[in-house]
Amino acid sequence: MKVLLASPRGFCAGVIMAIDSLDLAIKTLGTPIYVYHEIVHNKFVVESFRDRGAVFVDDLEEVPEGSNLLFSAHGISPQIRAQAKSRNLFAVDATCPLVTKVHLEAVRYAKEGRTIVLIGHEGHDEVIGTMGEAPESIVLVETPEDVDRLEVADPHHLAYLTQTTLSVDDANRVIKRLRERFPDIAAPPKDDICYATQNRQEAVRTLSAEVDIVLVVGSHNSSNSLRLAEIGHETGLPAHLIDGAADIDDTWFQGKETVLISAGASAPEVLVEECVDYLRERYGAQVEVRTIREEQVHFNLPKELRNLVDAQ
């Protein structure tokens, strides 16, 4: 067996910042520390922090007044921010800066009086946070068919935004239909789908031509991980989204000689290594790292944590 190990894969800069933020918050503030939603969408990461005293909540009413709180990487609405303040919570905002960019664009377009078409998945934490910035101005679509059914007050005064973790191909299909129906629609000055999502998708799409099967390490509630597995399927290959080596089924590899392994932006490298070790031990796999793009992006820790560290 030959294994192609896609690069880039795994943690992006936003996930690293969020995880480092929670790690430092536990060390400096102690536990329990409450986290609004999962810090990132990965089962292993969430359970690891839960074992260290992090308490993940979906409602701030679950957080005792005056407690320490961390907002996850996916962003929050102004209403949640105000609720945290009213409960006298010390809040650390670990929102990915690329999600914050989309929030700021939503506020700007709403102030211009535009109807904002948000391309994303209903119920996703990031979408809920973005829609909370301008709930009266935002409508959500997911498919070109949703665009066909869309009714707006002024078709000449629209803008679109996207969830940062979408499939580039899927988003482009929706954007194409939006531009066909609404030629005057305004676009964000820079693509909303984050660099890491695009790079990981490009790597899977490019390397799929050389393999017989695709393994994507990531959790099933991770939007960007799901998209990677979908890309594998779209190329005509069997593609499996797995949390780790324990999910591997040996029947997948019958008649398969070359395996592509990638990982979603919230999946730790240790889980990738476990899968590689399994294939080495079981099948004598030879591993080749294939780099499609170099990444050198870094995000600073939230100012609340930097101020704490500086004060010590």
Catalogue the active-site residues: 126
Helix axes 223-234, 195-207, angle to 10 degrees: 20
CA separation for the pair 262, 4 (Å, rounded): 9
CA separation for the pair 68, 242 (Å, rounded): 33
- Give the distance, in angstroms, between the CA of residue 173 and the centroid of all CA atoms in the same chain: 20
Per-residue tokens: 214 = 């695709």
Q: Are 144 and 174 in contact (CB under 8 A)?
A: yes
**Terminal-to-terminal C-alpha distance of the chain:** 53
Q: How many residues does the chain have?
A: 312
> CA 241, 245, 249: angle at the middle one, nearest 5?
70
Helix axes 223-234, 168-181, angle to 10 degrees: 90
What three-state secondary structure class fits 271? Answer: helix
Report DSSP letters for 148-181, one per residue: HT---S-TTSEEEEE-TTS-HHHHHHHHHHHHHH
Amino acid code (one letter) for 263: A
Nearest Cα neighbor of 70 from 93, 49, 47 is 93
Q: For the chain, percent helix, then strand, then coil, each to nearest 5?
A: 45, 20, 35
